[in-house]
Every structure is written in structure tokens, then in C-alpha cells.
């Protein structure tokens, strides 16, 4: 029996995923939450075989949560669920320790197959994301703008793009406000942007934030 934890801040989506998984004879949902920090805590206590983890959460993003859960070294396999087929996100989370990356638009059968694949020590990348990667292979080499950012700079970018203040970002990432401002300045310079409105437009265009 596969023990699964579901972490998604959209309550209706989370409930649907839980029902889908619980209906399988070889799967059991051992916990669910809409917050990344709670998901990390449940991973420690429940030690699930697989955690289905939404990339866009109110507190921790998928990259940060993946790094923490993978760092526990308890064998939990991480399947990232996202609204956007951003290949840079997929690359970063898999490097951080995720075993899979699947789009929320994927059919139920694909989600079930992905859960079983990662539980069996495989790696799963949604065909939607693979199409983006393969499509870029046939084009002249170009680097996604966000690839120039460090993981921390990307985390600051995502939070500011969602409308969080410098102080809120500092609190969420356990940094000083001045450090967040330094990261913000670096991000603006690297991306050739001017202000937070530009950051938000960039993040939406690149599929880095969920606008729903």
C-alpha cells in the first residue's frame, strides 16, 4: 500500500486528488494540507512514500519544500504538481531532489501513473513539459531568462511577484529586509526590469506564478 501526502492550497483541487488516490486499492492518503510548512511537518511525522506537492504555495514554494523534504533522507518521493509547464522549474526541482513534475491539467490516469512511477524509484516528467524541452532543442540555443537567477533570487522574485512586501518576504525566507532588497536589486538588474510591476508581468509571462 502506497502512503501518500497531498499538499495543495486549492481546497477543491486537493479534495479531488485525495478522492482519486483513495479510490485506488494500492494507495492511501495519510495526510493533506494547503501549507508548505505543514506539509514538511507531516512528512516528518507520517513518513509517506510519496508527497504530491503543489509548486505554488502561500508560504514555501515547491523548490524550497523539496529541498527540505529531500534533506530528511527518509525515502519520501516528491511529485511536483504545477499549473505551468515551465521547464526551468522542472529542472530546478528535480535537481533539488524531486522525482517527478506533472502539470495540473494532466488527466487523472496520468497522475496515478506518475505516482506509481515515482514510488517505484522512477523519474516522471509530464509530456507537456517534455514537449517544451524537445521544442526548444530544435531552436537556436537560448537561455530562459530566469536561469540567470540563483535559487534564492528566484524565491524572492516569485514572492514579490505575488504582491508580498519586502518585510513579508524577509519573514517567509528568514532573511533581513535589507538582504531581500539586495536580492530584489540583483533580480531587476539581471532581468533588465525596473520595478515590482515588471517582476509580476515577467513571472506571469514565464509561468512562474499561478494567477488563478
pLDDT value of residue 89: 76
Q: Looking at per-residue confidence, does 108 or 141 come out higher?
A: 108
Segment 71-91 mean pLDDT: 86
Q: Looking at per-residue confidence, does 124 or 210 come out higher?
A: 124
pLDDT value of residue 147: 80
Encode pLDDT of 14-35 as tens digits.
999 999 999 999 999 999 999 9
Encode pLDDT of 166-183 as tens digits.
999 999 888 999 999 999
DSSP 7-49: E-S-HHHHHHHHHHHHTSTTEEEEEEES-HHHHHHHHHHH--S
Strands (E), 62-207: 77-82, 100-103, 124-125
**What is the rounded CA–CA span in Å between residue 96 and residue 161?**
22
* Average of per-residue pLDDT values in the chain: 89
**What is the rounded CA–CA span in Å between residue 207 and residue 210?**
7
Segment 95-116 mean pLDDT: 94
Residue found by looking up cell 512586501 in the block: 165
Which domains are present in the chain? 2-136 (3.40.50.2300), 145-205 (1.10.10.10)
pLDDT value of residue 61: 81
pLDDT value of residue 140: 52
Q: Looking at per-residue confidence, does 38 or 82 come out higher?
A: 38
**What is the percent of the chain with per-residue pLDDT over 70, rounded to a whole number?**
91
**What is the rounded CA–CA span in Å between residue 110 and residue 118?**
12
**pLDDT at residue 82 tops 60:** yes
**pLDDT at residue 36 tops 80:** yes
**pLDDT category of residue 135 using cuts at 50, 70 and 90:** low
Amino acid at each position: 500500500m502506497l502512503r501518500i501526502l497531498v499538499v495543495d492550497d486549492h481546497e477543491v483541487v486537493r479534495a479531488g486528488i485525495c478522492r482519486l488516490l483513495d479510490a485506488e486499492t494500492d494507495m492511501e492518503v495519510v495526510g493533506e494540507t494547503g501549507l508548505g510548512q505543514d506539509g514538511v511537518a507531516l512528512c516528518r511525522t507520517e513518513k509517506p512514500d510519496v508527497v504530491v506537492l503543489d509548486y505554488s504555495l502561500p508560504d514555501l514554494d515547491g523548490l524550497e519544500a523539496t529541498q527540505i523534504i529531500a534533506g530528511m533522507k527518509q525515502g519520501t518521493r516528491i511529485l511536483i504538481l504545477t499549473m505551468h509547464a515551465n521547464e526551468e522549474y522542472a529542472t530546478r526541482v528535480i535537481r533539488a531532489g524531486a522525482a517527478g513534475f506533472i502539470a495540473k491539467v494532466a488527466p487523472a490516469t496520468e497522475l496515478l501513473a506518475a505516482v506509481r512511477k515515482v514510488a517505484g524509484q522512477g523519474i516522471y516528467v509530464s509530456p507537456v513539459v517534455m514537449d517544451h524541452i524537445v521544442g526548444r532543442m530544435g531552436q537556436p540555443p537560448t537561455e530562459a531568462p530566469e536561469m540567470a537567477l540563483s535559487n534564492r533570487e528566484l524565491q524572492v522574485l516569485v514572492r514579490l511577484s505575488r504582491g508580498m512586501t519586502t518585510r513579508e518576504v524577509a519573514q517567509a525566507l528568514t532573511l533581513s529586509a535589507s538582504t531581500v532588497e539586495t536580492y530584489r536589486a540583483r533580480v531587476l538588474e539581471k532581468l533588465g526590469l525596473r520595478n515590482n510591476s515588471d517582476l509580476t508581468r515577467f513571472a506571469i509571462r514565464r509561468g512562474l506564478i499561478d494567477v488563478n
